[in-house]
């Protein structure tokens, strides 16, 4: 592993073999790519990552927007790991890699002879990260779809309206939490590499999502009661919810007594601040229904943006609820330069870049999402001799 250039990106010089598909694994390796790692994405010949076939496509190109959103900054190599020649080629690649990340079903890499214990015979310094649905236990072999782990983890039970059914959060948080944990664990293993050398990392979607319950887990464990499903409302704070305006929805977050007083000023209802039913947050939670009934017709009188201006002037937390098209028209998002254009099959498409900023190093992708097998020849030519390359390309078993 070569040291990172202090003037470059944090993970410059780190080479990652990416044996992932769908969402959790590709998200993890895309984060590593944004931090400067060289990501070699291993894909099945002629098929590639499953998401390459998931629409819609970008403009007039054949590039899947799903695939593009998770695979920028990577290089694509077609390699059939289920064949003897493909497995041997991968082993040669692993001999000079720093990290392997995989999210196949548990046992798949072992079946191909490419588990951690197999690869450490050619590279003792290898960091090997496996993303799966569950740690060892009775559910270890369950198919790890985001919907399944969300259902089992409790996250769906706390999402939705109080009088409605459980709902799946609009973002695949089971996949994303596992991807973020995987990237964090890989960076941690690289940080302690000088002390511990190579090691195996196991990242579960289910247990990871349970850890995201945080305060909801704390409340449940303290009381023994399930955390309530309350839509946009909060069980311990009021007013803390979305209100309908005359042109959309507006989210209000009053979390302290000082904010409550400023809120009453922003909505021009000073009498509410003097009402004994709403004097403290405990009072407001107790009289939540009366307070909500008093505020709903008020918020319906103005637009969401008008309320946003009033709240901003009074330093009260609140904002319009944007849809996913409106957010990319947001002036602040443009000013923060989190989106950038990369060419996808000849079509320019804004992509959401790494959001954090460092004072001394750069982040973000400089390479467009790869075409299937785009870098096969280049990568294999560097790692294999002529006979091995011929065997791989001929599909030898």
Q: What is the CA radius of gyration of the chain?
A: 25
d(CA 27, CA 19): 12
Which among 175, 274, 348, 385 is annotated as catalytic? Answer: 175
d(CA 119, CA 125): 10
The answer to whether the beta carbons of residues 126 and 149 sit under 8 Å apart is no
The answer to whether the beta carbons of residues 238 and 285 sit under 8 Å apart is yes
The answer to whether the beta carbons of residues 67 and 369 sit under 8 Å apart is yes
Nearest residue to 124 via CA among 98, 103, 106, 102: 98
d(CA 26, CA 32): 10
Q: What is the per-residue DSSP string for 145-205?
A: -HHHHHHHHTTTTTSS-TTS-----SS-HHHHHHHHHHHHHHHHHHHTHHHH-SEEEEEEH
Task: Let me know if 98 is a catalytic residue.
Answer: no
Integer angstrom CA distances of residue 117 from 78, 109, 122, 126 = 24, 11, 10, 10
| Sequence-separated contacts (24+) of 267-275 with Cβ below 8 Å | 267/295, 267/298, 267/310, 269/298
Q: Please identify every residue annotated as catalytic.
A: 175
């Amino acid at each position: 592993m070569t040291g990172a250039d202090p003037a470059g990106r944090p993970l410059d010089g780190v080479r990652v073999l990416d044996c992932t598909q769908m969402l959790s694994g590709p998200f993890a390796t895309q984060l590593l790519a944004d931090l400067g790692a060289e990501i070699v994405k291993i894909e099945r010949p002629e098929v590639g990552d499953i998401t390459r076939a998931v629409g819609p496509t970008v403009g007039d190109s054949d590039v899947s927007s799903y695939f593009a959103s998770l695979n920028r900054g990577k290089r694509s190599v077609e390699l059939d790991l289920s064949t003897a020649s493909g497995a041997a080629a991968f082993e040669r690649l692993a001999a000079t890699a720093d990290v392997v990340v995989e999210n196949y079903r548990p046992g798949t890499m072992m079946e191909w002879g490419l588990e951690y214990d197999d690869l450490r015979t050619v590279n003792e310094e290898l960091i090997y990260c496996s993303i799966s649905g569950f740690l060892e236990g009775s559910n270890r072999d369950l198919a790890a779809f985001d919907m399944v782990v969300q259902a089992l983890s409790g996250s769906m039970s706390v999402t939705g309206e109080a009088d409605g059914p459980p709902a799946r959060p609009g973002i695949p948080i089971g996949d994303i939490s596992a991807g973020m944990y995987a990237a964090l664990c890989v960076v941690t293993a690289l940080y302690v590499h000088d002390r511990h050398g190579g090691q195996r990392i196991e990242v579960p979607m289910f247990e990871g999502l349970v850890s995201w319950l945080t305060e909801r887990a704390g409340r449940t464990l303290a009381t023994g009661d399930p955390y309530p499903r309350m839509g946009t409302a909060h069980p311990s704070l009021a007013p803390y919810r979305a209100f309908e305006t005359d042109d959309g929805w507006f989210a209000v977050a009053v979390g302290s007594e000082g904010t409550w007083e400023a809120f009453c000023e922003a909505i021009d209802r000073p009498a509410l601040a003097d009402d004994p039913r709403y004097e403290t947050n405990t009072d407001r939670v107790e009289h939540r229904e009366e307070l909500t009934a008093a505020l709903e017709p008020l918020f319906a009188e103005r637009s969401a943006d008008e309320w946003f201006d009033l709240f901003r002037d009074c330093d009260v937390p609140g904002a319009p609820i944007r849809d996913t098209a409106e957010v990319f028209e947001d002036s602040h998002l443009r000013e923060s330069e989190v989106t950038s254009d990369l060419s996808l099959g000849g079509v320019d498409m804004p992509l959401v870049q790494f959001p954090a900023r460092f004072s001394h190093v750069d982040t973000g992708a400089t390479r467009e999402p790869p075409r299937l097998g785009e870098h096969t020849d280049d990568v294999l030519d560097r790692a294999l001799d002529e006979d091995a390359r011929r065997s791989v390309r001929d599909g030898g078993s």
